[in-house]
Amino acid sequence: MEQQRNWDSIVVGGGLVGLAIAYGLGRLGRSCLVLDAGDLDFRAARGNFGLVWVQGKGSGFPPYADWSMSSSRSWPDLAAMLHEQTGAALALEQKGGLDVCLTEDELSTRIAELTTLSQHQNGRFQFQALDRQALAEIQPGIGEVAGATWSPHDGHVSPLYLMRGLHDAIHHQSGYVKTSCPVTAITQTGVDIQVTTPDGHFTAPRLVLAAGLGNRALAPFLGLEQAIRPQRGQIMVTEKLPLQIRYPMVTLRQTAEGSIMIGDSHEDAGLDVSSTRPVMAEIASRAQRILPSLSDAKIIRSWAALRVMSPDGYPIYDQSPNIAGAFAVTCHSGVTLAAAHALDLARCIHDGYLGPHLTAFSERRFDVSPA
């Protein structure tokens, strides 16, 4: 049936980035087919930590700082839309977030970084520097740390609830998510774009590549190059506990169900998604220094997932120079930027061109001569 339909758009990739764009296109009246290679893919969506985060993002790249702030502000709208359409509750909280620093040097470096970010945004980005005493007043049980920075723009959400909500909304919009359907070729056929899969050909006038690490192999079909690489992150999850964490932290957050997620790591390990004892021990050690009560908590599961990283760590958004209506999107911050992808980027794709505010995210930024 999905082959016989005349789709308005095809999104390749069923992770959070692809689903958010597909949902956004559906809101604008474009019927959308999502082709997903399968759950065994190296995807970040199911292993995501779940932060909706602004502080520290883009301090060296102002367009990313603006984009992250815009998405954070739009997140309540996205959550309300999904809830109204599907009844999905995403467990979104945006009461602020903490970045805890263990040493004075770490804290002073952090403050300098966020000061630069605030100056760039003419005060729109706000934060407070907290010494240990001030931190202990808002986060009881804190360990012997130097302090923290707190920003009101930050929060967290359940990535799995978000993924389910986007799935349901796409189906409510008469879209379709087809799994176990990897794309092997892309060609232009008249005014349409045709993708080839083991299950046959699918065509539409709009195409979005949002296949994560898969974009590296697919982007050349569009005359584009996405030199992305995997970066492993490991997470541990405790048993369900009484409320201990009042604000999400960069490395600790307590879910709505009560379990505490502990992360994160940044490892160049290729496509290896194994959990490793040395890294988990390091993560656990830092968590106990921040919140000593975690020493008695039972770890019930752990996992590793792969971030999709560009050479500079920022998103890549491009339009094909060869195939009209085709776009490629790569981003490692699928949760934070979900609102921007659904409510802003999707409109650009619907209209057929990327707006000036997205120009800085083109892969062309990597073509600048070192001289």
Domains of the chain listed by start with CATH number: 9-51+160-228+312-367 (3.50.50.60), 97-152 (no CATH), 229-309 (3.30.9.10)
Query: What pLDDT shows up at residue 199?
Result: 92
- Please give the Cα distance from 232 to 283 (Å, whole number): 14
Alpha carbon separation from 324 to 148, 225, 352 (Å, rounded):
48, 17, 8
The alpha carbon of 290 is separated from its chain's Cα centroid by a whole number of angstroms, namely: 25
Lowest average pLDDT, out of 43-57, 102-116, 235-249, goes to 43-57
The alpha carbon of 325 is separated from its chain's Cα centroid by a whole number of angstroms, namely: 24
Lowest average pLDDT, out of 104-113, 268-277, 324-333, 334-343, goes to 268-277
Cβ count within 10 A of residue 200: 10
Across the chain, mean pLDDT equals 92
Query: What pLDDT shows up at residue 39?
Result: 59
β-sheet bridge partners, residue 100:
148
Query: What pLDDT shows up at residue 41?
Result: 52
Query: What pLDDT shows up at residue 119?
Result: 86
Cα angle 142, 263, 101; round to 5: 40
Average pLDDT over residues 151-172: 96
Burial 103-115 (b: 16+ CB within 10 A, else e): eeeebeebbebbe
Q: What are the pLDDT digits (tens) for 126-137?
A: 999 999 999 999
Query: What pLDDT shows up at residue 371?
Result: 44
pLDDT of residue 369 exceeding 60: no
Question: Is the CA virtual torsion 42, 47, 52, 57 positive or negative?
Answer: negative
Q: What are the pLDDT digits (tens) for 211-232?
A: 999 999 999 999 999 999 999 9
Query: What pLDDT shows up at residue 78?
Result: 98
pTM for this model (two decimals): 0.95
pLDDT band at 51 (very low <50, low <70, confident <90, very high): very high
- Please give the Cα distance from 254 to 344 (Å, whole number): 30
